[in-house]
Amino acid sequence: MNKHTVAIQFIVITVLALSIYSCKHKEDEYHNVIEKIEAKSKEYKGVTVSSESYFDNIELIEISEDGTSFLIPDRKNQIQSYACTECHSKPLQDMENTDLKKAHWDIEIVHANENTMNCTTCHNPENMDNLKSLTSNHIDFNASYQLCSQCHTKQFEDWKGGAHGKEIGGWAPPRASLTCVNCHNPHNPAFGTKWPARFNTQKIKERK
Amino acid sequence: MSNNNKKWFSLNLNSRKKESNTCGCGNASGGCHSNAPKQELSEKEFFDAAVNASIGEERTRDGFDQVFDVKMDRRSAFKKLTASLLIGAGAVSTSCSVITDDETKEKAQIDWEEQFKGNYKLMSDDEKKATVDRLVRSYQLRTGKTISMSSKNAEADVLFGYAFNISKCQGYMDCVSACVKENNQDRSSQMQYIRIHEMKDGKGLSFDEADDNYYHEVPAEGHFYLGTQCFHCDNPPCVEVCPVQATWREDDGLVVVDYDWCVGCRYCMAACPYDGRRFNWSKPEVPENEVNHNQHYLGNRMRKKGVMEKCTFCVQRSRSGKNPACVEACPTGARVFGNLLDPNSTIRWVLENKKVFRLKEDLGTEPKFWYYMD
């Protein structure tokens, strides 16, 4: 071993040592934020703040789907024409083709197409107080997301996780999220176009 | 003002002529009394001049101006400092201040303490508390209005993160409006922390071709919308370049600014690769009835001319468990906010189950702001 290789070895070792050392960032010992999140959340013990006081007066119910539990707003108290059986005391077919005044004249379905969807795809003509699945099982109005999830499985998965839809109250536990019909009118679920909330006239000036 | 300055400069503090040996000690020893007759000013004039030099201009303006138009250039800063010394001295010894009312004295005392407070970053919790209490009192004295100002620290086991769904955002800009209101941003310059970029489908993310100030019905055919704001980088280049450590990263990941420590050099603005920082070229103004009174020292408290500000993930809200105003205002759910350290949080689910990306990831800035699509 000559002097040269010793010197090279020394340099290599120093550089290695330095690079290992310098991986330790100034204040953090992590390479990137993902690593930091993974390491730190192993010791996660919970937080002292809570969203509880920010739900205002929204009535919430707890749901549990495939091991994920969270709160969603109650719907039955919000639907004006509920309970439906106040009028729908007899099966729908007995009500139709009579000279009863049109009651739901304002409801028009703009959702999928006529082959896929009519009123009784979702509503139960035998018992209007419940929604119905494609296989004619009861679905509670408070659990209308189960109706939607039959056809929109991907959106439903994202909603459960929190990537689709919206959390209300705050980020702190417990989690409360809007349900599908808070954002989508089931009869016409698309989001409309509208004018933006603001226009910056100052920027226009700056650009001229 | 200039007149006052003259009077004031004729005191011996700054004068090159060494004719009389008036002390600037505030006559704690009583020595000044004997000199008083020889001065050009009586004690009353002396005190008035000192008060004038410091907050004099403010007495003639409305409450809002008084608090927020603080001169930033070096010369006037120096003048103020010297004047504050005088006032401080005056406030300590009662001899000079018989003539002025208690509130003026208290204001002067507050100004004095504000002038010499340290960097918020280095303060103990008690000092932080004292600072915000002082600011609340100062606002009250000047406007008659009561605000609440928090100095709540970062909580253990919290690291804030944000995700933005570019296939959900419809470009409505409700977030921008909510942000401006929540954070008391200047109305006349129409400052916005958030920018929503309207981008053409199929062109990738080309910010050059994007429009961040559209005004037509949205969403526009063939476009998508992407919002930017401060990304609260875990390795923030803006913090590195600050010569006075007026900006730093808190333990919960928020990158914050001490507006009173900032010298307005704008290095951080230049260092930010994401256009996340904003500068007050003029005195920020918010109509008094629109001021959000729920404030945090590091967040939406009133700023002054010549300092940096930016999105703080609404520290005044987020540290109490709420979502930032933009998240709350968004009608589409495109904005997801939460605690990155909580394995059950929705933000974690998004990071683990959606294809997420960040802007300019190769820079190593480690933004805590991710984008994703459905």
Q: Give pLDDT, residue A33.
A: 96
Give the start-end residues of each E strand in B26-114. Answer: none
pTM of the model: 0.83
Nearest CB partner across the interface for A162, out of B174, B234, B350? B350
A to B CB pairs, distance under 8 Å: 158
Contact assignment for A54 to B192 by CB distance below 8 Å: no
Contact assignment for B323 to A170 by CB distance below 8 Å: yes
Tokens of B236: 């923030």
Nearest Cα neighbor of B250 from B241, B260, B239, B261 is B239
| Interface mutation target, options B323, B330, B361, chain A, most CBs of A under 10 Å | B323
Q: Give pLDDT, residue A136.
A: 94
Contact assignment for A32 to B340 by CB distance below 8 Å: no
Nearest Cα neighbor of A123 from A103, A106, A144 is A144
Interchain contact A35–B (C-beta under 8 A):
no
Chain A residue with CA closest to B323: the answer is: A170
Region at B17 (left for phi over 0; alpha for psi -120 to 50; beta for the rest): beta
10-residue block means of pLDDT along chain B (374 residues)? 36 38 38 42 57 46 41 48 52 49 86 88 95 95 93 97 97 97 96 96 92 95 97 97 97 97 96 96 94 97 96 98 98 98 97 97 97 96
Tokens of B363: 């820079």
Nearest CB partner across the interface for A196, out of B163, B189, B215? B215
Contact assignment for B374 to A154 by CB distance below 8 Å: yes
The stretch A11-26 carries a mean pLDDT of 52
| Interface mutation target, options B326, B336, B347, B358, chain A, most CBs of A under 10 Å | B336
Q: Give pLDDT, residue A207.
A: 67
Determine the distance in angstroms separating the CA of B343 from the nearest CA of chain A, rounded to an integer: 7
Nearest CB partner across the interface for B218, out of A25, A169, A193? A193
% of chain A with per-residue pLDDT over 70: 83
The tens digit of pLDDT for each residue in A107-148 reads 999 999 989 999 999 999 989 999 999 999 999 999 999 999
Chain A residues with CB-CB distance to B344 below 8 A: 173, 175
Q: Give pLDDT, residue B56.
A: 42
Q: Confirm whether A192 is domain-assigned.
A: no
Chain A residues with CB-CB distance to B348 below 8 A: 41
Q: Confirm whether A13 is domain-assigned.
A: no
CA distances A48 to A78, A172, A173, Å, are 32, 9, 10
Q: Confirm whether A102 is domain-assigned.
A: yes
Q: Rounded to an integer, what is the distance from CA B148 to the centroid of its chain?
A: 15
**Phi/psi at B335 (5° precision):** -115, 120
Q: Tell me what percent of chain B is helix, strand and coil, each rounded to the nearest 5.
A: 35, 15, 50
Chain A residue with CA closest to B164: the answer is: A163
Interchain contact A50–B (C-beta under 8 A):
yes
**Phi/psi at A176 (5° precision):** -130, 130
| ipTM computed for the complex | 0.84
In contact, A86 and A153? CB cutoff 8 Å:
no
Q: Confirm whether A32 is domain-assigned.
A: no
Contact assignment for A25 to B318 by CB distance below 8 Å: no
Q: Confirm whether A198 is domain-assigned.
A: no
Chain B residues with CB-CB distance to A195 below 8 A: 215-218
Q: β-pairing, B335-339 with A176-177?
A: unpaired
Q: Confirm whether A100 is domain-assigned.
A: yes
Q: Give pLDDT, residue B362.
A: 95
Q: In which residue are the tokens 């999928």 written?
A: A112
Query: Which option is the CATH number for B160-372: 3.20.20.10, 3.30.70.20, 3.40.50.970, 3.40.710.10?
Result: 3.30.70.20
Average pLDDT, chain A: 87
Chain A residues with CB-CB distance to B174 below 8 A: 197
Could you state, in order of their start, the residue ranges of all structural domains in chain B? 59-150, 160-372
Contact assignment for A164 to B347 by CB distance below 8 Å: no
Nearest CB partner across the interface for B341, out of A40, A51, A194? A40
Beta bridge partners of B256: B248
Q: Give pLDDT, residue A99.
A: 63
Q: Give pLDDT, residue B61.
A: 41
Number of domains in chain A: 1
**Phi/psi at B279 (5° precision):** -125, 140
Q: A109: domain range?
A: 54-183
Interchain contact A40–B (C-beta under 8 A):
yes
CA distance B147 to B139: 8
Q: Give pLDDT, residue B44.
A: 60
pLDDT band at A206 (very low <50, low <70, confident <90, very high): confident
pLDDT(A78) > 50: yes
Interchain contact A48–B (C-beta under 8 A):
yes
The tens digit of pLDDT for each residue in A171-204 reads 999 999 999 999 999 999 999 999 999 999 888 7
Q: Confirm whether A139 is domain-assigned.
A: yes
